[in-house]
């Protein structure tokens, strides 16, 4: 565990050793959580009011950062990703137009409600059960402001569970999920952690938040990963058969009969030649154009999405992977906005 990851735990231990009454500690934690949610709520209200005043938007993606990294099994660098992705989105080396011609500078196309203050909440000793609830509530606050739809910047992949849970609960039904990743992230409880970034989709499927789960780009999967996939009826598309599956994956039609489509993009779905700045480097992955072809051709109402597992601490000096993550966000924006 990193120095950042230990801060909240050590702070709580210090309070406990000082005989601080638990009721006082819990009140303090609740105040911090309430303040955090108030910040997201007011930002979402402001952005929602602006989009509605401008008119013409049926669905407007809204960036929500979740800088969480402590549920990683290897490195915690993804906690630092959201600001780096934002910086790259608006980098002057490129323009703010998507490949399909949508302009991100138009607030009806993309808004931003800031970050969930994950570390500040953890510094107060808040455990992961409550933290996951805060993330879910933050997503719901965004969704309450029609026509905003959450486009979440991770963070490690553990954030997908509370985000998908919130989307499904808010829409009152399951969604179809397109999950692009080198790993299935469906262990029951990896290394004993039920909230591990390698267990997020087990929690999602157990909760009944997804009708279909399609996992694409898989090339590092264990026996448990395959068994869990069979248990939950997951459609796993491994890279070793990608040439055979390409036509199907580039012509997906999802979301009919459910509440919509959720897209989760783990940056390590890409071959490290395209995105070296990830914690778990796994050769033999998708090209960037493979990913864009899948996203561009997908038919379905995309109600929310996330981009996770970009690790700035492993990126190249010129920030190549940050630009890759930013391009993914731009093209997902185009897929959601209407």
Q: Which residues are annotated as a binding site for Mn(2+)?
A: 157, 181, 183, 185, 266, 268
Query: Across-strand partners of 308?
Result: 266
Sheet with 261-266, strands from edge to edge, namely 111-115, 60-66, 148-154, 302-308, 261-266, 175-180, 210-218, 235-238
**175 φ, ψ to 5°?**
-120, 165
Q: 298-323 in b/e burial notation, b at 16+ Cβ within 10 A?
A: bebbbbbbbbbbbbbebbeeebebbb
Nearby residues of 235 by Cβ (< 8 Å), 6 or more positions away: 212, 213, 214, 215
Reduce the DSSP state of residue 118 to 3 states and report it: helix
Query: Across-strand partners of 310?
Result: 278
Q: Which residues are annotated as a binding site?
A: 157, 181, 183, 185, 266, 268
Separation of alpha carbons 330 and 133, rounded Å: 28
Q: 191-203 in b/e burial notation, b at 16+ Cβ within 10 A?
A: eebbbbbbbbbbb
Q: Is 55 left (phi over 0), alpha (psi -120 to 50) or beta?
A: left
């Amino acid at each position: 565990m990193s120095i950042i990851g230990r801060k909240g735990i050590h702070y709580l231990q210090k309070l406990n050793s000082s005989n601080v009454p638990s009721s006082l500690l819990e009140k303090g934690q609740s105040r911090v959580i309430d303040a955090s949610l108030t910040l997201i709520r007011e930002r979402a209200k402001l952005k929602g009011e602006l989009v509605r005043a401008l008119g013409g938007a049926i669905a407007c993606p809204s960036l929500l950062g979740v800088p969480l990294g402590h549920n990683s099994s290897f490195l915690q660098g993804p906690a630092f990703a959201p600001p780096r992705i934002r910086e790259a989105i608006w980098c002057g080396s490129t323009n703010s137009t998507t490949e399909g011609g949508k302009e991100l500078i138009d607030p009806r196309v993309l808004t931003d409600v800031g970050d969930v203050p994950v570390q500040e909440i953890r510094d107060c000793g808040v455990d992961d059960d409550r933290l996951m609830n805060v993330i879910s509530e933050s997503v719901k606050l965004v969704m309450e402001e029609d026509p905003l739809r959450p486009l979440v910047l991770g963070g490690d992949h553990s954030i997908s569970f509370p985000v998908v849970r919130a989307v499904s609960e808010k829409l009152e039904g399951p969604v179809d999920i397109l999950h692009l990743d080198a790993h299935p992230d469906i262990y029951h409880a990896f290394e004993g952690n039920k909230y591990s970034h390698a267990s997020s989709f087990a929690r999602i499927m157990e909760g009944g938040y997804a009708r279909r789960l399609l996992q694409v780009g898989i090339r590092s999967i264990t026996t448990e990963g395959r068994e869990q996939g069979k248990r939950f009826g997951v459609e796993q598309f491994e890279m070793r058969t990608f040439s055979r599956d390409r036509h199907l994956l580039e012509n997906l039609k999802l979301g009919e009969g459910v509440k919509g489509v959720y897209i989760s993009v783990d940056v390590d779905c890409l071959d490290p030649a395209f995105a070296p700045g990830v914690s778990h480097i796994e050769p033999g992955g998708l090209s960037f154009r493979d990913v864009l072809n899948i996203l561009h051709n997908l038919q379905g109402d995309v109600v929310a999405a996330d981009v996770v597992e970009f690790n700035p601490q492993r990126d190249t000096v010129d920030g190549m992977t940050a630009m890759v993550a930013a391009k993914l966000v731009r093209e997902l924006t185009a897929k959601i906005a209407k």
